[in-house]
Structure formats: structure tokens, C-alpha cells
Amino acid sequence: MTLLQILVLALVQGITEFLPISSSGHLVLVPALTGWPDQGLDMDVAVHVGTLLAVILYFHKDVLAMAGGLGRMARGRRDPMGRLALQVAVATVPIVVVGLLLKDHIATYGRLIAVIGWTTLIFGILLWVVDRLCMTVKRAEHMSWVDVLVVGFAQVLALVPGTSRSGITMTAARLMGYEREESARISMLLSIPTILGAGVLAGLDIAERGDWQLTLSALIGAGLAFVSALVAIALMMAWLRRASYTIFAVYRVILGIGLLAWAYGLL
């Protein structure tokens, strides 16, 4: 893998993982548009590790507070951050279960350009509609167990490339009345166990084949993904403090229309 390929892959993963525009959809498009060979599982794991470290670093105060809260709950005390940690864990269960059951089908049909085009377009419009019409009154600490289930089951849709895990969880949180910045915060916290689980599964696949190599390419990819993801998270959170999700929805609509035109031979 050339340095240019590593750079493009890491930047695409880092920038799109947490923005509501679908990282998996973009990663599928990279080899389709460039003609490069598939990057392989070892590079996939490397860039996911980079993005995982980025979100943990950015939200380290929340992560530490949630861990401390779980400790206090274990000693019989009530703690809102400990409760939030349990809710994040529960919301992750649906995507883990469905992902394991439908893994082969998603790998086969989810990489079709037409599928990515439709999901990019439809869920982009849905994000815009929900963001425009729903209230902005709740914070993450206000999460009810109904909210947890809605967000958790919505996240399952992200198994189809183009949907966007961050996009669909932000949409679900906004639907339940969470502030824009808080919906992004919920999505980011949910990404930690989700990315960790996906990375572990991919790592196990590599271990079973016995061809794991901690290459320089993987280290460079992880580092670049870490930096780009950290910058992307910071910029998105700053944007959502003063603006809406419209810019992301517009991007998705334009991209979705372009992909559909390509898929159906109009380009």
C-alpha cells in the first residue's frame, strides 16, 4: 500500500467516522473510485483504533465520569453518569446482535453503489426533517430507557453502508428532543463500545487467519486517522453549538444523487 493510499484511507475514516455522513459508505467508495485494491482487515482495524482513541481523548471527562459512576453504583449509590454508562452499554446490544447474525449478508449486498446512494440520500433527508421539526430541550443525563431503546435500535440501521452510524443515532436523539450538541455527544459516547466491538471482531478474523502484521503502514494509518478524527469531532461540536445539521444533510443529498446517477448509468 502506497503512502497516498494510506493517507486517503486514514483521512476518509477519521473525518467521516463521526460526522453524520457515513464512514463505511465513503470507505467502500475509495477503491471503487480509485481502482485501488481493498485495504484489508489489518488496515481497517488500524484506522478504527485511531478513531477510537480520538473519541476517547475528546470525551475523556465523560468517560472517566462514567467509569467512576459505575464504581459508585457498584457500592450501592445512585449516580447519573453511572446510569448513562449502563444506558450506553444497553444501546449497543442491538447492533452487536444483529451485526453478528447478518454479517455475511451485509458484506455481500451492503457494498452496492445503488444501496449506498439510496441510504445516503434518504437518511440525509430524514436528518434534515427531524432536525428542523423536533424540540431541543434534553441533555444526555436526561436519557430515559425508552430513549435508549430508540437510539439503540436506530443504530442497527447503520449496518447498511451509507446510513451512517453517527448520522442515524444523532437523528434518533434529535427525534427524542435532545439538543443538537447533546445528540452528537450521545452518538460519540455510543461509538466507543461500537467501534471497540467492531475492531475486536475484525482482529479475531485476522488472528484466525494467522496473518496479523503490525506494519508501518498500519501505524501510520492509525496515527493519521487519530489526528483527523480528533479535528473532525472538535469542529463538528463547535459547529453544532451555533448551527444546525443542515450542512451535513445537504452534503448527503448531493452525494446520494451523484451516487445514484453513477449506479444507474446516468454519469
When pLDDT is cut at 50, 70 and 90, the band that residue 260 belongs to is very high
Is 122's pLDDT higher than 90?
A: yes
Over the chain, what is the mean pLDDT?
88
First to last CA, the chain: 29
DSSP count for the chain of H helices, then E strands: 12, 0
**SS3 state of residue 178:** strand
Q: What are phi and psi of 178, to 5 degrees?
A: -80, 145
The mean-pLDDT minimum among 86-90, 167-171, 201-205 falls in: 201-205
| Count of structural domains within the chain | 1
Average pLDDT over residues 252-259: 93
How far apart CA 188 and CA 173 sit, in angstroms, is 12
Q: What is the DSSP letter of 216?
A: H
Place of cell 460519540: 188
pTM passes above 0.85: yes
More confident residue, 243 or 25: 243
Range of the domain at 122: 3-263
Cell of 149: 431503546
- Over residues 205-229, the pLDDT tens digits come to 666 666 555 577 888 988 999 999 9
Residue 144 pLDDT > 90: yes
pLDDT exceeds cutoff 60 at 47: yes
pLDDT for position 161: 85
Question: Is residue 232 a contact partner of residue 89, using CB atoms and an 8 Å limit?
Answer: no
